[in-house]
Structure 1
């Protein structure tokens, strides 16, 4: 048998094992590198991708090294003796091969695939095969079955309240930190809103990253439930409460491959909301030339798919199309976005009005779910709660309940202002490029890194006037961000005054 050794290697949700080439117990030639092995002892077993090690200082001949993900899942102490054997491929892989051939999969087939993915029985190559085959075509029924399967794996929350509300933005818009305003407004009204949020994957900040500036977000289920029962809402990291864990694994493979179909998006979002125990959901779909959804026709198709699946899983889903032509608020990055959200909640002078008004729009739609409220009264009620200070008080209760961050986070001290190359009116802002610059500056890893927007659409600027300010914490990140911004700021400027747009983005 081999002695178990824990290796501090982050393999991003994939089980990986390491075996010395000069191992006297097993012949590594029997275990081809990058094939899967089964590791077992005392009834515990996992599958892992095997790597063969030639570096003598890394693994002793009688040891089996496990990266962090695999070590945690196996759950045995370091030094424990384990056995290994070649792993049989999961039976559900045959269904993946059928999907590659164009077949429509049944509920049982999809459930088996998702259960095997959640149990780390698939390698990333096999997950990629499933995702790419699914990206070619998933029927509406398959999206429904995928949603159910993902919701049923992992923890599933339930609440005593008959109405449990939630919101989700499909993403793609920097600075769109409405949840940190909507949740306390809705909680102050009295509806239960247990908000589980994601960390950033390709953006400069997720809601969990920004909320972490103010409070703990890595709460367990019991802690989360305690906060919600006392404060009527929370803003926690969903990855820590193990809701729809297969979705997190799928996302870790989707992002590098740039796979982002509407079908997989709907299954991802709705499975998480079902697992969180939501009964009513508002989905924010920003529409804009550099947003995730770029046309009204595409937005309508996505809305219909959300409604189809929502109806069949018992989740009341409402959709709001919003203006996705530019970032929302001024700050992009955890500290800067948290600053904007708290400024809106405090009714501070100079708080970003677009963030305030969008948050009130969404909060009003959610409050309208309240059966005790007269129809159409949600928006006025949301504004009353915000402007009276009740929302700020609710946010303080949530922060205290989750555990206030004792460290005061500040914007990065390395700064540079990016000037307008010419005079005129701002006619376009590339959301994707602005987000990329903010990430190069160090966000979200460095909480204080990001971008402070100094000019927005339809503003008139003079040549040399600052468009935005880059904040960074490390010199190398600062240089990377400045170089990309110097190549192209992401702003379009025209000497002709543009047509004025309404709140919904229409002329």
Structure 2
């Protein structure tokens, strides 16, 4: 092995270990190191060891010839102390890559194959290129239902698994694809106010303008340590946290970081991702929301039923009680699309504001009611009435405020973007269709979810009458460039179609 001293390079490489070696380093050519190769880095006492992808630099300000620069994540893993001597060597190829090559060729893999892949990913032995190859192989060649089960098991094993010591721990998840569908932030306080345990860990957006964690972050801190998460859940019977810091199925978070720029979300990978997180979080009973619509992730009922069977198969084999609900995915839920706008909708519902979006309120009550009926003391069909009473009495609002305070209220909640453009109708009639994908695209171009005040605010929904020149929706952005991108996209395609009648394609 060869010795260099550590230097922190203040670059966030987003869940990938990256090392920086100067081109004039005496080891660069003598040891045959090349850019994008992987290297092993060891402390001199052998106590700490990591793997990183190598980048070669020519600037002494980044890394000097006798130093090894590490990105922020890798530097923390090595102990976070500059000037410490370390040994470096060529990294051995992960043994599990052979299984990835077999998957690329179309083979089905076994449990041990997926366990090996998950362990190597968790140990940072895979580069993002290699992980992308694995994800594409799973998407293109498909995963058999047993492979989804094996992948789920393997991802659970890479992290912690919470045990709440209670026989009934409930959770809810939507497969996504519907802008503004922020029912979770209403379901959690309603269910917790009923007394049920619902420790909700959510992801950030992958391909959408906002995930539950992004929207909750408008109101409160969502990055909680495992200890904080336990304390809050014990006190409040609930939380609304980002799952990434809880160390639950961490391989899932690493793969999501690769999926995001690829805009990938294949069915098998999606099921494994969702269920590994839920099982690791200690859930015993789970509601899955599958929206169906022409521009939703699932376009028809037959595909939805196939996905439901896959969820149920994996859940049954892992001891998780699952109820899958097929819902209307023909249009966005609520009015806001983007974190700040969606949090506004949520708080309007919790406050029983007459201006609150009725579709968001109704869908949340229906799903909360189904979860409440997991309670053995609640008769079938009574869940909705109980959920509605909790909301209308103000108990849900009080519980939400308590959760927000427990997690840490955001002292400076983001405001809606100050750049605004109204998109107007070019024809009169009724709104006959709304393109979820296009509206989500416009909201993302506007800056959501990174810019929490950015997004789209809907003024019209399916079936609403509209006149020429009337506003269909407003675009909000925080930066001029984002604003122009979103505005130009909306001019080319507003995502709205008007006509004489709405075609009912709801499930």
Alignment match, 1:323: 328
Contact 1:2 1:25 in 2 (8 A): no
Alpha-carbon distance in 2 for matches of 1:55, 1:377: 68
Q: Secondary structure at the match of 2:5?
A: strand
Q: Secondary structure at the match of 1:455?
A: coil
Aligned pair 1:265/2:267, yes or no? no
Q: Following the alignment from structure 1 to structure 2, what is the Cα–Cα distance between the partners of residues 314 and 265?
A: 19
Per the TM alignment, residue 170 of structure 1 is displaced from its structure 2 partner at its CA by 0.4
Query: Which whole-Å deviations, capped at 9, do the CAs of 1:311-346 have from their partners, x for residues lacking one?
Result: 000000110111111000011111110110011011
Q: Who is 1:99 aligned against?
A: 103
2:180 match: 175
1:337 maps to 2:342: yes
Q: Does 1:24 align with 2:20?
A: no
Q: Matches of residues 423-438 of structure 1 in structure 2 within 5 Å? A: 423-438=428-443
Correspondence for 1:7 among 1, 6, 9: 9
CA shift for structure 1 position 104? 2.3
Displacement of 1:219 in angstroms is 1.0
Which residue of the partner structure matches residue 497 of structure 2?
492
- Which residue is equivalent to 1:397? 402
Cα deviation, 1:337-367, whole Å, max 9, x if unaligned, reads 0110011011111100000000001101111
Q: Distance in 1 between matches of 2:79 and 2:183?
A: 39
Aligned pairs for 1:42-121 within 5 A: 42=45, 43-121=47-125
- Deviation of 1:112 after TM superposition, in Å, equals 1.0
- 1:256 maps to what in 2? 261
Aligned to 2:204: 199
Q: What residue number does 1:275 align with?
A: 280
Deviation at 1:460, TM superposition (A): 0.8
CA contact (8 A) 2:114 2:151 kept: yes
Secondary structure (helix, strand or coil) at the match of 2:124 reads coil
CA distance in structure 1 between the aligned counterparts of 2:105 and 2:443, rounded to whole angstroms: 41
Q: For the Cα contact (< 8 Å) 1:17–1:64, is it kept in 2?
A: yes
* Distance of 1:403 and 1:53 partners within structure 2: 41
Contact 2:463 2:502 in 1 (8 A): yes
Matches of 1:131 and 1:7 in 2, distance apart?
29
Structure 2 partner of 1:505: 506
Q: Look up the match of 1:189.
A: 194
Q: How many residues align?
A: 502
Q: Show the 5 A alignment for 1:90-489.
A: 90-135=94-139, 136-489=141-494
**Partners of 2:102 and 2:49 in 1: how far apart?**
28
- TM-aligned CA deviation for residue 26 of structure 1: 4.7
Between 1:320-329 and 1:136-145, the stretch displaced more is 136-145
* C-alpha distance in 2 between matches for 1:115 and 1:280: 27
Aligned mates of 1:32, 1:403 — CA distance in 2: 46
In structure 2, what is the Cα distance between the partners aligned to 1:104 and 1:345? 47
Distance 1:276 1:234 in 2: 12
Q: 2-side partners of 1:244 and 1:75: how far apart?
A: 23
Cα offsets for 1:224-263 (capped at 9, x unmatched) = 1111111111101111111111011112222333432211
Are the counterparts in 2 of residues 28 and 52 from structure 1 also a CA contact under 8 Å?
Answer: no
Give 1:28 deviation, angstroms.
Answer: 6.2
**Counterparts in 2 of 1:250 and 1:28: CA distance versus 1, 3 Å:** farther
Q: Is contact 1:21–1:28 with CA below 8 Å preserved after alignment? A: no
Say which SS state the counterpart of residue 431 (structure 2) adopts: strand
Deviation at residue 14 of structure 1 after TM alignment = 1.3
Q: Summarize deviations over 1:374-410 as a string: whole Å, max 9, x none.
A: 2221111111111111111111111111111111432
Report deviation, 1:435: 0.8
Structure 1 residue 30: deviation in Å? Answer: 0.6
1:46 counterpart SS class: strand
SS at match of 2:265: coil
Distance 1:259 1:414, change over 3 A: closer
Alpha carbons of structure 1 residues 76 and 8: separation in structure 2 relative to 1, 3 Å: closer
Q: Secondary structure at the match of 1:122?
A: coil
Retained in 1: the 8 A contact 2:21–2:28? no
SS at match of 2:132: helix
Aligned-residue Cα RMSD (Å) equals 1.4
Partners of 2:167 and 2:60 in 1: CA distance? 60
Instruction: Indicate if the aligned counterparts of 1:208 and 1:235 stay in contact, CA closer than 8 A.
Output: yes
Please say if residues 19 and 28 of structure 1, whose CA atoms lie closer than 8 Å, have aligned partners that are also in contact: no
Contact 2:433–2:502, Cα closer than 8 Å, also in 1: no
TM-score (norm 1): 0.96
Distance 2:336 2:259 in 1: 27
Q: How high is the TM-score relative to the length of structure 2? A: 0.96
CA deviations on 1:43-69 (whole Å, 9 max, x unpaired) are 211111111112333211111111122
Of residues 310-319 and 128-137 in structure 1, the stretch that sits farther from structure 2 once superposed is 128-137
Instruction: Name whichever of 181-190 and 445-454 sits farther off.
Output: 445-454
Displacement over 4 Å in runs of 4+: none
SS of the residue corresponding to residue 213 of structure 1 reads: helix
